[in-house]
Amino acid sequence: MPWIDLKSALKSEAGFLEFIRSSYRHGTVVALCAGAIGILNRRLEAAVARKDRDGQRYLYTQIEVLRSEMHVRLEIRTDQALARGVLHLAGEAALARVHDYQRERYLSEFSKLYPEIVGAVGVTRAKFWEAGVYGQDFPLWAQQNGFTDTQLLQAIQVSKLRAYDALVELNRELEENGKGARSWKLKTEWDRRRKEIKLLSDLQFRSAIYKCIRDVLGEGFMPELEKWMTLNTRIPHFRKLRDRSRDSKPNLKLQLLPGRKFRPERTPPRSTVSSEPRA
């Protein structure tokens, strides 16, 4: 992995995002996002201090995009570590049973959500989802086949991330051009993307490999697996980076949802009636 100057890279948002999105090293992307969020948070605090609303909105959007990238990459890295742990502790046959069960569980949960999925993405895309195909802009690192990969959930995670990125772009356009008929079209697309993200999250959560491992290999296997991950992977360190980045939120005076105007906070008028009982 080449050395990178974060401060210089962050001058070009598109270039930095292209760099991290094309990287197959999930742990490195998590670390880069954590460092970038730290720099952007300092810039955001300066924008809050000088009451620069446009600067706050722009920086907040950058931070949220990086947080979502970090979160999904950590999920993928964790799933890979779980699969590797099962392979090491229980063998290849056990891992194959887990993956088979995961696919069955996915199809079962998909059938339960099918009416909502068709309503959100249409019949054609619903058929692709059922087959585990989630988009043509799927990055090369997610197409790699190997015993440590849980391909189905990687596909869901990446698709969810790209849908969230599209939502962020819609937010930006709503802030700049959200008026009249254009505003209605943007809000309709915004709502559709939100539903898509929620459905992808539901599918991912209900088919999570952690739950499948627990169901196939038993509850007693999980402490041993967690111990193996703590000793043999960097997942605990990456979780600390994620939590630190997630907890650092300046107090913004902004409304970032579409269709609502910014209103400064008003202090309620003081009551002229005393609350103390009369003697």
182-227 residue pLDDT tens? 677 777 878 888 888 888 888 888 888 899 999 999 999 999 999 9
Q: Is 210 helix (H, G, I), strand (E, B) or coil?
A: helix
Q: Say whether pTM exceeds 0.75.
A: no
Which whole number is the average pLDDT over 2-30? 71
pLDDT beyond 90 at 228: yes
In the chain, DSSP assigns E strands to: none
CA 62/CA 56 separation, integer angstroms: 10
pLDDT band at 63 (very low <50, low <70, confident <90, very high): confident
- Domain borders along the chain are 6-247
Closest CA to 206 of 93, 145, 116: 116
Contact 59, 43 (CB under 8 A): yes
* pLDDT value of position 160: 75
- The single residue listed with the structure tokens 């590797």 is 84
- Weakest-pLDDT range from 110-119, 186-195, 260-269: 260-269
What's the half-sphere exposure (Cβ side, CA atoms, 13 Å) at 19? 20
* pLDDT value of position 231: 93
* pLDDT value of position 137: 44
Distance between alpha carbon 250 and the CA centroid of its chain, in Å? 20
CA 191/CA 222 separation, integer angstroms: 38
DSSP element (H, E) containing 259 = none
104-113 residue pLDDT tens? 888 888 899 9
pLDDT beyond 90 at 232: yes
Backbone phi and psi for residue 278, each to the nearest 5 degrees, phi listed first: -70, 150
What's the Cα-to-Cα distance from 111 to each of 20, 130, 170, 277, rounded to whole Å?
Answer: 35, 9, 30, 63
Question: Which residue pairs, CB below 8 angstroms and at least 24 apart, start in 201-204?
Answer: 201/160, 202/109, 202/113, 203/106, 203/109, 203/110, 203/113, 203/129, 203/156, 204/153, 204/156, 204/157, 204/160
> Which of 11-25, 77-91, 187-201, 235-249 ranks highest by mean pLDDT?
77-91
pLDDT beyond 60 at 91: yes
CA 43/CA 54 separation, integer angstroms: 13
Closest CA to 228 of 85, 76, 92, 80: 85
pLDDT beyond 60 at 150: no
